[in-house]
């Protein structure tokens, strides 16, 4: 039947690999094509006819590039990733991992982390302001408004997601500090627990052992946007240090949208044989004016206007982490502190502190490669909320959450280049919430203890022609964050069930010595008690059963020594499968996203880069029953020109070159005569930066 996810073949292909793929004494290029066609026919049969056609045309167009590739892949330098909790070759990782290098970032069009992630396959970045990336959320699995709570973001393996709704602050990580970004597609709950439902993004920063550099970057652009960035990395003997300072200030695209953000990243490392000991510091302060959403007539008339002139937010974060990193043993001891203030209808203030300890070991037992670890977290959230007007309210809350988890993974060879990966996690979470109504001096409290298990099984095979295919099944969970269960306005406490999910995924990937690379995976998630916001009750709830499925396609094509290209496509379909909204789509989930990128080197000193990103239609936020229209799709075009001198470089960028009217986020309000509301993103903008190495 339509939408059935049973694996079936298309175009009457045989159910086993054709002889040309099994006989490796024949032309290996033909083997690659046959293998890709074989797997692609099975994978693409899961899609609708339209999606199948798009992907089939794409794969057909890339065959000519594959045919020109050399057969020997031994010259490829291994890519090392750390999102597996120990450094490992990406070729041996049991999941689909995409890497973005510092060179990729320098040669691209991005000047914020949010800009980098927007072009990637399978990542939908929901941006509210469009300049700094502040308050942007990353959705990997089609969760819409709750995407940020189902995607885990790490900095050197340390969680940036907090146990509140604010999530990770992408604006706090300057691009100059990044050595590599690792995007793990699929559930990573076994390794990381909470939030890693649809994937993990691990940001690895540079340290003094990577390079000696002292540099400064100055930037200026539209909306009176100013940037100052300075970084220093040095190593001497067994000691190294690195520090990055970044300041970004702008009047913003809209009225009442000015912001000022400042960040510090520092690391001090001492090498002891095969181990590294050190300390990391990450601090950020941010001041934001909040322009609010515009209804559709105002959005079309003048998207720069504001619906509020007094709403604003302030935030201060810092984290200190001591670490020991070794080949077979690693550990981090961390302390995070976050203070937030906001004026939105009323005044709110929150203080969140988290203490963490995450030791782990790696060893070999016969043919089994074992990783075992413990994750310990203790978080406290203290809040105050004061609202005046016709419905005054004053509440304070004290919440404590303790989390203890143990996990174990086993990777073993089954022979014939086939590997079996098993993983298991057991996590205990204890929650204690207390609220005091300051107007009535009444108190309320509640407690909850949850014990959940996650697991994953992955079977992968590396072929002699260089490709790797895999199939995996997994179980995930997500615990509700603290302010999903407590209302700033009413002070009501409403405990929620943890969200659980069952996952299945198949994929293939191949990297050739000429630089050509493709990765393709298809997934399906069946969720129970998915956590999200219900505007009808003005509260977060456990939804009825939901289904999420999708496809990610990521291709790198080196057309020549001067020209490189990337094609990235993602399909998402998220819907309710039970209850009054059965068959309805989850809001704010684009069905299709296509990204085309290219970098052309004019000569040794000059380069041009172009990004074109199409984001498809999706229902407005809060429209769970799909009664309204959909937000329009749009295509955004960014372009940059870079000129390098001896120790200087100049970069000119144009964002939104075609000046399209766009919004990543919006919501539906059935009580309003104009029910459609948008958060407009900037029109065409120009930016210029100067980088100097001292």
The residue count of the chain comes to 694
Q: What is the mean pLDDT of residues 48-56?
A: 43
Q: What phi and psi values does residue 482 have, to the nearest 5 degrees? A: -65, -45
**Residue 671: pLDDT band by 50, 70, 90 thresholds?**
very high
State yes or no: pLDDT of 575 exceeds 80.
yes
Position with higher pLDDT, 683 vs 29: 683
What does the pLDDT read at residue 344? 86
pLDDT tops 80 at residue 60: no
Q: Alpha-carbon dihedral of residues 360, 362, 368, 372, nearest 10 degrees?
A: -10
Parallel, antiparallel or unpaired: strands 329-344 and 360-365? antiparallel
The beta-strand segments (E) located in 416-441 are 418-437
* Confidence (pLDDT) at 56: 38
Predicted pLDDT at 497: 97
Percent of the chain scored above 90 by pLDDT?
A: 77
In this model, does residue 19 exceed pLDDT 50? no
pTM (2 d.p.): 0.89
| Average pLDDT value over all residues in the chain | 88
What whole-number distance in Å separates Cα of residue 673 and Cα of residue 687? 39
The predicted model gives 232-256 an average pLDDT of: 96
What pLDDT sits at residue 345? 84
| Cβ-contact 581, 544 below 8 angstroms | yes
Confidence bin at 78 (pLDDT 50/70/90): low
68 has pLDDT over 50: no
Report the pLDDT value the prediction gives residue 10, as an integer from 0 to 100: 31
pLDDT surpasses 70 at 154: yes
Q: What per-residue confidence (pLDDT) applies to 77?
A: 58
Residue 9, pLDDT score: 28
- In sequence order, the β-bridge partners of residue 430 are 402, 449
Give me the domains of the chain, ranges plus CATH numbers: 1-72 (no CATH), 80-662+676-681 (2.40.170.20)
Asked if residue 81 has pLDDT above 80, the reply is no
User: Which segments of 102-212 are extended strands (E)?
Assistant: 124-126, 137-139, 151-155, 158-159, 178-185, 199-205
Residue 4: predicted pLDDT? 36
Q: Could you count the other beta carbons within 10 Å of the beta carbon of residue 645?
A: 9
Question: Which token pair is 673?
Answer: 């005569």
- Per-residue confidence (pLDDT) for residue 76, from 0 to 100: 53
Q: Is the pLDDT score of 62 beyond 60?
A: no
Span 533-548, pLDDT tens digits: 999 888 999 999 999 9
Cα separation, 623 vs 535, in Å, equals: 8
What's the sign of the alpha-carbon dihedral 469, 470, 471, 475?
negative
**Which residues have CB under 8 Å from 81's CB, separation 6+?**
87, 88, 89, 90, 93, 97, 99, 180, 182, 202
Question: Which whole number is the average pLDDT over 577-592?
Answer: 96
19 compared with 272, residue with greater pLDDT: 272
CA distance 293 to 681: 11
Which tokens in the block code for residue 165? Answer: 């709704």
């Amino acid at each position: 039947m339509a939408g059935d996810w049973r694996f079936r073949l298309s175009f009457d292909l045989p159910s086993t690999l054709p002889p040309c793929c099994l006989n490796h004494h024949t032309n290996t290029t033909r083997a690659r094509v046959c293998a890709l066609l074989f797997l692609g026919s099975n994978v693409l049969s899961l899609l609708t006819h339209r999606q199948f056609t798009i992907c089939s045309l794409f794969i057909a167009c890339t065959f000519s590039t594959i045919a020109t590739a050399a057969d020997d892949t031994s010259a490829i330098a291994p890519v090392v990733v750390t999102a597996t909790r120990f450094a490992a070759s990406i070729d041996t990782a049991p999941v689909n991992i995409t890497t973005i290098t510092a060179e990729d970032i320098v040669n691209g069009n991005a000047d914020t982390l949010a800009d980098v992630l927007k072009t990637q396959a399978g990542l939908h970045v929901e941006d509210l302001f469009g300049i700094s990336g502040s308050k942007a959320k990353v959705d990997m699995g089609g969760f819409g408004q709750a995407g940020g709570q189902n995607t885990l973001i790490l900095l050197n393996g340390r969680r940036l997601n907090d146990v509140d709704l604010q999530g990770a602050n992408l604006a706090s990580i300057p691009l100059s500090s990044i050595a590599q970004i690792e995007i793990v597609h699929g559930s990573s709950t076994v390794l990381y627990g909470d939030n890693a439902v649809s994937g993990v993004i691990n940001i690895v920063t540079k340290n003094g052992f990577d390079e000696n550099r002292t540099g400064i970057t100055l930037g200026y652009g539209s909306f009176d946007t100013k940037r100052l960035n300075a970084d220093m990395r040095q190593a001497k003997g067994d000691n190294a240090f690195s520090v990055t300072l970044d300041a970004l200030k702008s009047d913003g695209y809209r009225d009442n949208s000015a912001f000022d953000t400042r960040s510090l990243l520092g690391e001090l490392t001492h090498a002891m044989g095969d181990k590294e000991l050190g300390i990391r510091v990450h601090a950020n302060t941010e001041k934001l004016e909040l322009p609010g959403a515009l209804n559709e007539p105002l959005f079309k008339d003048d998207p720069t206007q504001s619906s509020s002139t007094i709403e604003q937010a302030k935030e201060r974060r810092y984290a200190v982490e001591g670490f020991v990193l070794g080949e077979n043993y690693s550990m981090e001891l961390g302390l995070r502190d976050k203070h937030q203030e906001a004026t939105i209808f009323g005044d709110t203030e929150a203080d969140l502190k988290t203490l963490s300890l995450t030791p782990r070991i790696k060893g070999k037992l016969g043919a089994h490669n074992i990783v075992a670890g413990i994750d310990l977290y203790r978080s406290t959230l203290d809040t105050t909320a004061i609202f005046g007007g016709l419905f005054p309210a004053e509440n304070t809350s004290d919440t404590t959450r303790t989390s203890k988890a143990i996990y174990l993974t086993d990777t073993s060879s089954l022979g014939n280049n086939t590997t079996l990966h098993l993983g298991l996690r057991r996590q205990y979470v204890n929650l204690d919430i207390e609220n005091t109504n300051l107007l009535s001096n009444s108190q309320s409290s509640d407690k909850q203890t949850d014990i959940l298990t996650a697991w994953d099984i992955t079977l992968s095979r590396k072929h002699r022609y260089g490709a790797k295919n895999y199939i995996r099944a997994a179980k995930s969970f997500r615990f509700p964050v603290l302010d999903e269960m407590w209302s700033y306005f009413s002070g009501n406490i409403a405990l929620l069930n943890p969200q659980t999910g069952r996952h299945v995924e198949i994929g293939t990937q191949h990297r050739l010595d000429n630089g050509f690379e493709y990765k393709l995976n298809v997934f399906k998630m069946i969720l129970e008690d998915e956590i999200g916001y219900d505007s009808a009750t003005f509260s977060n709830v456990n939804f009825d059963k939901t289904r999420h499925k999708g496809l990610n396609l990521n291709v790198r094509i080196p057309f020549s020594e001067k020209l490189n290209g990337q094609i990235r496509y993602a399909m998402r379909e998220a819907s309710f499968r039970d209850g009054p909204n059965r068959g309805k789509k989850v809001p704010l989930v684009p069905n299709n996203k296509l990204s085309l990128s290219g970098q052309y080197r004019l000569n040794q000193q000059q380069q041009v880069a172009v990004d074109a990103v199409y984001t498809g239609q999706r229902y407005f936020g809060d429209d769970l029953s799909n009664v309204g229209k959909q937000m329009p799709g749009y295509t955004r075009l960014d372009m940059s020109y870079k000129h390098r001198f001896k120790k200087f470089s100049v970069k000119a960028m144009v964002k939104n070159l075609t000046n399209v009217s766009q919004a990543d986020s919006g919501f539906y309000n059935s009580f309003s005569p104009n029910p459609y509301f948008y958060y407009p993103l900037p029109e065409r903008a120009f930016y210029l930066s100067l980088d100097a190495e001292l």
